[in-house]
Chains A and B, each alone.
Chain A
Amino acid sequence: MSLPPGTRVRARLADPDHHTRLPRYVRGHTGEIIEAAGEWPLPDDVARGISPPRAETVYSVRFPAAALWGQGTHHVVVDLWESYLEEAG
Chain B
Amino acid sequence: MGTGHDDAPSAVRVRRLEERLIGAGLATDAELEAVLAGLYRNASPLNGARMVARAWADRHYAQRLLADGNAAAAELGFGTPGYRLKVVANSPGRHNLVVCTLCSCYPVSLLGPSPSWYKSLAYRSRAVREPLAVLGEFGLALPPGTEITVWDASAENRYLVLPARPPGTGGRAEPALAALVTRDGLIGTAAV
Partner of B149, one of A23, A40, A75: A75
Are B129 and A69 interface neighbours, CB within 8 A?
A: yes
Interface size class of A (residues with CB under 8 A): 20 to 34
Interface size class of B (residues with CB under 8 A): 20 to 34
Chain A residue contacts of B101, Cβ below 8 A:
23, 25
Among B101, B128, B130: residue with most chain A CB under 10 A: B128
Interface residue A72 (Cβ < 8 Å from any Cβ of B): yes
Given contacts A21-B102, A23-B102, A37-B84, contact A79 B156 (CB under 8 A): yes
**Least Cβ distance of B71 to chain A in Å?**
13
Interface residue B147 (Cβ < 8 Å from any Cβ of A): yes
Among B137-183, those with CB < 8 Å from A are: 147-157
Are A74 and B151 interface neighbours, CB within 8 A?
A: no
Among A54-89, those with CB < 8 Å from B are: 58, 60, 62, 65, 68-69, 72-79
User: 15 extra interchain contacts, Cβ-Cβ under 8 A, other than A38-B84, A75-B149, A77-B152?
Assistant: A21-B102, A23-B101, A25-B128, A37-B84, A40-B156, A65-B129, A72-B129, A72-B130, A74-B131, A76-B149, A76-B150, A79-B152, A79-B153, A79-B156, A79-B157
List B residues at the A interface (Cβ < 8 Å): 84, 86, 101-102, 128-132, 147-157
